[in-house]
Amino acid sequence: MIDFPDLIGFIEVDHTADIAIAVTGDSMESLFLQSILAMREIIGVNLNKRVASEKSLTLDAQSAESLLIALLNEILFFIEKDTWPECEKLTICQNRLSLQYHLFRCTTAGAHVKAVTYNQVEIIRHADMYSTMLVFDV
């Protein structure tokens, strides 16, 4: 049984080989934003100089879970280039996501995440909350 956070946020869950987190949000957008914050904390991202303003990104997927995984893997690609997309606005409509962001140079001091996996990912809608598990391959 996984203990999800009572409030909006994320907590690390024991995983032998990789890093697992339980995430909650009060809306789908909030869940996605908390997932981004969780990954940022795991990787230990430190922002440096802003290199671009008001950029945007659009992603489509066949399910909300696929959309979340696609977004986090997209952000991993930014990190591989020593940059971080600081989110300004995130909207989700029918498995289409739009992200407006400012791009920052960054350094990292945490875990080396290779990929975001589909393992145990299932976005569940509760009465007033959304939750999911995420497993990061490290």
Partner 1 sequence: MKITLNDLKQISPYEWKIEQDFFSGMNVPVMVFSQESMLRENLNDRSLLQATHAACLPGVVNKVCVMPDMHQGYGFPIGGVAATSMDEGVIVPGAIGYDINCGVRLLSSQIPAQTIYPLIKMLVGEIDAACPSGVGKSGRFRLSHGELEDVCKNGVKWAARNGLLEKDEESFIEDRGNIRVENTNVISNRAFERGKPQLGSLGAGNHFIEIDIVERVYNPEIAQIFGLHEGLVVVQIHSGSRGFGHQICTDFVRLFNDQVDRYGFNLPDRELACAPVKSKLGQDYLSAMNAAANFAFVNRQLLAYSIREAFDSILEKQGITSSLSTVYDLAHNIGKIEQLKMGGKSQQVCVHRKGATRALGPGNCLLPERYTTTGQPVLIPGSMGTHSWVMAGSNTAEEKSLNSCCHGAGRVMSRSKARKTISGSTVVKELEAREITITAGSQRLIAEEAPQAYKDVNSVVNIIDTLDIARKVALLSPIAVIKG
**Footprint of partner 1 (CB under 8 A):** 12, 14-19, 61-63, 65-66, 69-70, 73, 77, 79-82, 108-122, 135, 137-138
Length of the chain: 138
Please say which residue, 15 or 102, places its beta carbon nearer to partner 1: 15
Please say which residue, 87 or 111, places its beta carbon nearer to partner 1: 111
Token code pair at residue 83 = 């940059």
Please say which residue, 17 or 127, places its beta carbon nearer to partner 1: 17
Cα 4 to the center of its chain, rounded Å = 16
Q: How far is the CB of 128 from partner 1 (least distance, A)?
A: 26
Angle between helix 64-80 and helix 28-43 axes, rounded to 10 deg: 30
Q: Measure the CA–CA gap between 68 and 18, rounded to whole angstroms.
A: 18
Q: Measure the CA–CA gap between 83 and 14, rounded to whole angstroms.
A: 29
Token code pair at residue 2 = 């996984």
Q: How far is the CB of 112 from partner 1 (least distance, A)?
A: 3
Q: How far is the CB of 27 from partner 1 (least distance, A)?
A: 23
Q: How far is the CB of 77 from partner 1 (least distance, A)?
A: 7
Please say which residue, 100 or 108, places its beta carbon nearer to partner 1: 108
Please say which residue, 100 or 117, places its beta carbon nearer to partner 1: 117
**Up-side HSE of residue 41: CA atoms within 13 Å toward CB?**
14
Q: Measure the CA–CA gap between 135 and 97, rounded to whole angstroms.
A: 21
Q: How far is the CB of 81 from partner 1 (least distance, A)?
A: 7
